[in-house]
């Protein structure tokens, strides 16, 4: 398995070479899903008004294609404007189930200054799959995506 730094290098190059934000997001999701063995479901939600709307994803289709800010772990991360790592989703009352196989989750907001543009959501079938290295990787990826999306905002 490539190191977190290798994966960040690959994604940095992909985003730099892809001026279209939607394509940059799709490529990022694909690279994370392909290279990170524990990442069972990888998706990006985009904030539209007070709702998170599912954009590109890889993994089983999720029933949660629209999540109000404040609901679920996704909605909590958007409301708090901070990364949330849940080691055991079944022990977290906020959790909205996507797959019965999911055991842990990380949600990383994509921020432009103080404004939430969207978030990266990753589920794992392994308990406590996400650590400080995953947080660092995904917060770096979120910053790169925010830069790519900045020119497209309404």
Binding residues (CB under 6 A) for ligand SME: these are: 41, 43, 62, 64, 67, 72-74, 95-96, 98, 105, 121, 123
Please say which residue, 96 or 111, places its beta carbon nearer to ligand SME.
96
CA distance 76 to 83: 9
Give me the least distance between CB of 97 and ligand SME, in Å please: 7
Our CA angle for 4, 123, 150, nearest 5°, is 65
CA distance 105 to 86: 5
Please say which residue, 126 or 147, places its beta carbon nearer to ligand SME.
126
Residues 145, 110: contact at Cβ < 8 Å?
yes
Give me the least distance between CB of 49 and ligand SME, in Å please: 17
Please say which residue, 17 or 83, places its beta carbon nearer to ligand SME.
83
Give me the least distance between CB of 23 and ligand SME, in Å please: 21
CA distance 92 to 105: 11
């Amino acid at each position: 398995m490539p190191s977190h730094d290798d994966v960040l290098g690959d994604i940095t190059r992909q985003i730099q070479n892809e001026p279209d934000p939607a394509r940059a997001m799709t490529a990022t999701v694909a690279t994370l899903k392909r290279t990170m063995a524990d990442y069972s479901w990888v998706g990006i939600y985009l904030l539209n008004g007070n709702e998170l709307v599912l954009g590109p994803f890889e993994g089983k289709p999720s029933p949660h294609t629209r999540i109000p800010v404040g609901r679920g772990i996704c909605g909590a991360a958007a409301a708090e404007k901070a990364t949330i790592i849940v080691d055991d989703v079944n022990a977290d009352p906020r959790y909205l189930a996507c797959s019965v196989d999911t055991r842990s989750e990380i949600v990383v907001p994509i921020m432009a200054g103080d404004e939430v543009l969207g978030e990266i959501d990753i589920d794992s079938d392994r308990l406590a799959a996400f650590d400080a290295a995953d947080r660092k990787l995904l917060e770096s990826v979120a910053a790169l995506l925010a830069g790519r999306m900045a020119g497209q905002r309404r």
